[in-house]
A = this chain, B = another copy of it.
Amino acid sequence: MIRVVVAHDTSLLRSALAALLGREADFEVTDTGWPGLYASDRTPRPDVYVVDADCPGWRQHTGTSTGGRFALPGGTRQRGVRGRRPQSRSDRDCACGASVPPSLVVLTGAGRPGDLRRAYEARALGFVNKDRSADRLPTAVRRVAQGKRFVDESLAVEFLHAADMPLTRRELSVLSLSAEGASVTEIARSLHLCNGTVRNYLAAITRKTGARNRVDAIRISRVAGWV
C-alpha cells in the first residue's frame, strides 16, 4: 500500500481529490489542510504528498509571500527524508520549523511558470497538469512513491518559461507588497528603501513583464504564478 496525503486549502476539494485517489486499490489516502501537511506527529509517515500549487497555504510555505525566497519549510525537525539534508540557509531558517515533505506531487495548471518553479525549488518529484485528464495522477503518485520523477509532458515547455524568471527577488518583494495594496511609501518603509528606489523597481517590473502599468504588471505576474 502507498500512503498518500492530499493537501488543499479548501476542505471540499481536498475531500474530492482524496475520493479520486481513493479509487485506486493500492492507495491509502488521507487529506489535510495547512499546516497539517507539515505536522511532524503523523503516524505512520506518508509515502507521497499531493499538493495543489494554486493554494495560498502552499504559496506561503514555499516563500512567495516573502518575495520569492523559494524557501522550503524544513530543517530543525527534518527526519529521514531519503538522505536529503538542508542545503542552504533558506532550508534552515524557515519560521515554521516543520519537516520537508518526503515525496511530493504538485498539481499545477498550464501557463503558470511561477507555480512550477516554486514546486521545483520545493524539490517536488511529480508535476501533474491539472488541466489534463485525471488518469495521470495515480501514475504520478506510484512513480514518485518509488522515488522516481514524473513530469507531465504537457508541462515540459513550461519549464523553459519557469527557468526564464523575469524578476529579481527584490523586484518580487516589491511586487508582492504592491499587489497587497501597499503604497510606494509603505513599500519603502517595509523594505528599508527610499521612495525613489521603490518607484524605479516598479518601473522595472512594468517594463520586464511587458505590462501597460502597475495594475497590469500585478495581473500578469499573478496569472503566471509569480506572486
Residue positions of A touching B, CB distance < 8 A = 10-13, 15-17, 19-20, 22-23, 107, 109, 128-134, 137, 178-183, 211-220
The answer to whether B178 touches A107 (Cβ under 8 A) is no
Report the minimum CB–CB distance from A144 to chain B (whole Å): 16
B181 touches A134 (CB 8 A): no
Identify which of B16, B20, B183, B218 contacts A213 (C-beta below 8 A): B183
Contact of A11 among B16, B133, B178, B220 (CB under 8 A): B133
Pick from B16, B107, B137, B216: contact of A17, CB below 8 A: B16
For A180, list chain B residues within 8 Å (CB).
Answer: 216, 219
Q: Which residue of B lies closest to A214 (CB)?
A: B215
Chain B residues within an 8 Å CB radius of A212: 181-183
Instruction: Report whether A178 and B12 are in contact in the complex, using a CB–CB cutoff of 8 Å.
Output: no
Q: Tell me, in angstroms, the Cα distance from A215 to B216 when the chains sit together.
A: 10
Distance in angstroms from A20 CB to nearest chain B CB is 4
Number of copies: 2
Nearest CB of chain B from residue A177's CB, rounded to whole Å: 10
Inter-chain CA distance A178–B218, complex, in Å, is 12
Known: A181-B216, A215-B218. A131 touches B11 (CB 8 A): yes
Q: A107 contacts which chain B residues (CB < 8 A)?
A: 12
Q: Are B10 and A20 in contact (CB under 8 A)?
A: no
For A109, list chain B residues within 8 Å (CB). Answer: 10
When the two chains form their complex, are residues A215 and B179 in contact, meaning their CB atoms are under 8 A apart?
yes
> Contact partner of A220 among B20, B181, B213, CB < 8 A?
B181
Q: Is the CB of B219 within 8 A of A11?
A: no
* A62 nearest CB across to chain B (Å): 20
Identify the closest chain B residue to A14 (Cβ): B134
A137 to B12, alpha carbons, bound, how many Å? 9
Chain B residues closer than 8 Å to A13, beta-carbon distance? 13, 16-17, 130
Expressed in whole angstroms, the minimum distance between the Cβ of A7 and any Cβ of chain B is 13
Residue of B nearest to A31 (CB): B134
Chain B residues near A215 (CB, 8 Å)?
178-179, 181, 214-215, 218
Q: Are A130 and B12 in contact (CB under 8 A)?
A: yes
User: Shortest beta-carbon distance, A87 to chain B, in Å?
Assistant: 31
In this complex, which of A10, A17, A133, A179 has the most chain B Cβ atoms within 10 angstroms of its Cβ?
Answer: A10
